[in-house]
Amino acid sequence: MTDPHAIQPSALDQLPDRDPEETAEWQASLDAVAQAAGPHRAAYLMRRTLERAEGNGIALPKLLETDYVNTIPTAAEPATPGDEAMEARITAWNRWNAAAMVTRGAKHGVGGHIATFASAAWLYETGFNHFFQGKEADGSGDQLYIQGHASPGIYARAFLDGRLNEGHLDNFRQEAGGNGLPSYPHPRRLPWLWEFPTVSMGLGPLSAIYQARFNRYLTNRGIKDVSASHVWAFLGDGEMDEPESTAALALAAREELDNLTFVINCNLQRLDGPVRANFKIVQELEAQFRGAGWNVVKTLWGSAWDELFRLDTTGALVRRLRQVPDAQVQTYQTRDAAYIRRDFFGADPALVEMAKLLSDDKILECFHLSRGGHEARKVYAAYKAAVEHKGAPTVILAQTVKGHTLGEGFASKNANHQMKKLSVDEFKAMRDLLELPISDSRFVDGVVPYGHPGADSPEVRYLQERRAALGGPAPARRTHALAPLPAPAEKAFAAFDKGSGSQNVATTMAFVRLVKDLVRDKETGKRWVPIVPDEARTFGMESLFPSLGIYSPKGQTYEPVDRDQLMYYKEAKNGQILNEGITEAGSMADFIAASTAYATHGEAMIPFYIFYSMFGWQRTADQMWQLGDQLGRGFLVGATAGRTTLTGEGLQHADGHSPVIAATNPAALTYDPAFAYEIGVIVKDGLRRMYGETAPDEDPNVFYYLTVYNEPMPQPAKPAGPGIDEGIVKGLYRFNTAESAGLSPVANAPRIQLLGSGTAIHWTLKAQKMLAEEWGVAADVWSATSWTELRRDALEADAALLRGEERLPYVRQALQGAEGPVLAVSDYMRQVPDQIAQWVEQDYSSLGADGFGLSDTRDAARRHFGVDAESIVVAALAQLARRGEVRATAVKEARERYGL
């Protein structure tokens, strides 16, 4: 079989050989070694030669895999600066309390995870004692992405540190009554402790990369020097199966993010069994990360293996370790010495001889217990190598045993992810193993006790001294007492109040024009972070390229092809725009990092991320939840919105549902503005709420989703009169009446209220005119800027009524006294306007674009979905006919007249 990794003759033939005789001599030497000493020796020499070449800067393809051994040999490990015995006692207490917390919670049926932290305890403890910088120095410190299932261990350490008490631990996963601990890292539920929500698999590593990148962005733009901050992402080897986990590896290497370290806990298990049963996940990950340009540090074997490697004079042990699949390694963890002698050592005569020199106890110590991720000195060496490496991010592949120290019933068992408790006897065995001073008498009625050495114990003093030296507690989230950002000049927001006159302007362009004015503001302009996924020209943003610059840590090392044009493609080290290429997930990760800078770094940034509305919530709704969990603030802008405004692109681009998905997110304030002046009012109020003077009953930790359209339309002037701005913000206001629109229906004409949102307002206005002129019907037109906010206000009013408070929903207040039925229209599925149906006192019906999109003209698409002006007229007449206010035959006549 041809080696797929070998250089094929066809490729070699293209390389000129200046000295074929010398080449032949090298090849003959290799053949001679292979014949005399065997192919393994030849391979060894080749690997060492390639390593030497790489070390000398000779341009050769890098080795993607190294042997299945530690990158840093024992002899090269630096001494740890701390008290290893003291740290071992601290780790023992943390292991105990993490297991106790989950076990006690199991009595209430709330679940929890024990085995993950048991495997990763030293990975965290070493960082907390020697590496993780706190926030009490410059306010930023390091950013820690904690593996979600390891949260009990982090709570246990906070308990030892005095930041949590037994009451907190007893409320693990029991938050409804207050004073509870969320199951996983969750800033919205425990905002003084957690910075980053990480349990949605794959989003942690993706977010960590973009957080490290945003740190560089802040520094390079001169906003704040956070070059001392390091991003640590603790991940599971099973989690790396998620495509998001590895989606941005090349970005991290390309931008040389040496302020980033991944620590992958390679316990070889995922939720149901081995991560790579028939293969080796460590080797796979090493090749993947090396190929992407990362520095890789493997910390696989503990010090008990040193004797075995010294005995391996032929390389047979190293070869065997590369051969054994992960599932078999897991099996060795649970089998006796005789099995391991037979299956592992029996595979090679040289290993058979080696095994004769090893006692059963030594074999069991190596195969059952000794892993690099369980030894402080080896973890310290890996971390030190990571933070000292320059020019590339580092991944540490730390091999551990899932369920380590929890007893034979847990260690390496396939089911240990679902095992939520230990028995009293198992706890006592664990106590003896960890040498904890917890007496049998403390187990009362079968309840396992928490353990604490005392607030003034040597362990607690040591822990607190180490954290003080590193800048304070960790993990920790700080909401800095930031002064409200000054409001930008009113001129920017009022630019469209007079309308666009005869000029047709799409609301997408109106938003971009507004941002262009806002980024020029002397006080807050530098804090805007424009984010776009390689569609800036689609949204009319190319004019921002030369003025703001596109961020690149390399600046611009080439002459752009359009340099002689006014709006040329300008990259700059201090560029303000984040143009992410074709990655909505990467753009959202950028947005999250920017939107939470007010807490992470004490710097309020104002991100706006503009995207095809179809490719935002539909693709990355999980990250929108992450954004809400992380208390992010900013503006998401769904451009080219609606099901019928981009119809030439067809079904896959036709968004008829993003407001439905957005409505499910409690942190998202969703608006569908119809006119340019509405955008100004909404953005102005958003800046006030998120960054300025927030009202006492308002939560600033929200983000805004605005849908804007690519259809150029006349932009009317802002109506005069009181309450317009309030209505725009709350979600509904009367744009005009039939009379104010200059229409003159007959006296006592039947009347209907037409509610339209977004681009549908224009069809509604046309229908208003047709109803008056052709059918003698008076229609008032309302702009529904936010169906979702109207619904939320109504739900809050309902809840208030149940508390005995009198409160009327705003939608009912606004429509109070409005004559006739209500017909609501949008460019989305009917579910969007139907959100308010139950709170409208008048007869209510709706029109929307349900079903799949299609390619055609806008007019044809709107006729297809039954939302064009003619369809609105027919629906309005049908409502009035049911009430007996127009003749029944009018509906049929209208259908025939309009060809419906």
- What's the pLDDT tens digit per position in 785-838? 999 999 999 999 999 999 999 999 999 999 999 999 999 999 999 999 999 999
Distance of alpha carbon 693 from alpha carbon 546, whole angstroms: 33
Q: Are strands 504-505 and 713-714 parallel, antiparallel or unpaired?
A: antiparallel
> For residue 499, what is the DSSP state?
-
Only one residue has tokens 């590369």, namely 322
Percent of the chain scoring above 90 in pLDDT: 80
**What pLDDT score does 746 carry?**
77
**What pLDDT score does 5 carry?**
43
More confident site: 693 or 636: 636
Cβ-contact 159, 452 below 8 angstroms: yes
Kindly report each contact of residues 486-493 with a partner whose C-beta sits within 8 Å and lies 24 or more positions away, as own/partner. Answer: 486/523, 486/524, 486/692, 487/684, 487/687, 487/688, 487/692, 488/517, 488/518, 488/521, 488/523, 488/524, 488/525, 488/687, 489/521, 491/517, 492/517, 492/518, 492/521, 492/680, 493/680, 493/681, 493/683, 493/684
Quick check: 435 pLDDT over 90?
A: yes
Percent of the chain scoring above 70 in pLDDT: 97
Tens of pLDDT, residue by residue over 659-668, are 999 999 999 9
Identity of the amino acid at 658: S
Distance of alpha carbon 511 from alpha carbon 525, whole angstroms: 15
Quick check: 758 pLDDT over 60?
A: yes
Question: Per-residue confidence at 177, pLDDT binned at 50, 70, 90?
Answer: confident
Tens of pLDDT, residue by residue over 182-204, are 999 999 999 999 999 999 999 99
**Stretch 442-450: mean pLDDT, rounded?**
92
Distance of alpha carbon 394 from alpha carbon 388, whole angstroms: 10
Q: How far is CA 555 from its chain centroid?
A: 27
Tens of pLDDT, residue by residue over 98-145, are 999 999 988 888 888 888 999 999 999 999 999 999 999 878 999 999
**Stretch 344-360: mean pLDDT, rounded?**
96
Distance of alpha carbon 839 from alpha carbon 797, whole angstroms: 10
For the chain, how big is the Rg over CA atoms in Å?
A: 33
Distance of alpha carbon 646 from alpha carbon 231, whole angstroms: 41
Give just the sign of the alpha carbon dihedral 188, 192, 197, 199: negative
**What pLDDT score does 488 carry?**
93
**Stretch 213-237: mean pLDDT, rounded?**
97
Quick check: 47 pLDDT over 50?
A: yes
* Residue 107 Rama label (left phi>0; alpha psi -120 to 50; beta): alpha
Q: Which of these ranges, 261-275, 410-424, 614-628, 702-716, has the smallest mean pLDDT?
A: 410-424
Q: Are strands 260-266 and 394-399 parallel, antiparallel or unpaired?
A: parallel
**What pLDDT score does 418 carry?**
53
DSSP-assigned states of every residue in 58-77: ---PPPS---SS-SS-GGGP
For the entire predicted model, the pTM comes to 0.94
**What pLDDT score does 20 carry?**
85
**What pLDDT score does 420 carry?**
57
**Stretch 474-493: mean pLDDT, rounded?**
89
Give just the sign of the alpha carbon dihedral 213, 214, 217, 222: negative
∠264-269-271 over CA atoms, to 5°?
A: 110
What is the residue-averaged pLDDT of the chain? 92
**Stretch 855-861: mean pLDDT, rounded?**
91
Phi, psi of 780 (to 5 degrees): -100, 140
Question: Per-residue confidence at 13, pLDDT binned at 50, 70, 90?
Answer: low
**What pLDDT score does 10 carry?**
43
Question: Per-residue confidence at 1, pLDDT binned at 50, 70, 90?
Answer: very low
**What pLDDT score does 4 carry?**
42
Tens of pLDDT, residue by residue over 674-690, are 999 999 999 999 999 99
Residues constituting the chain: 900
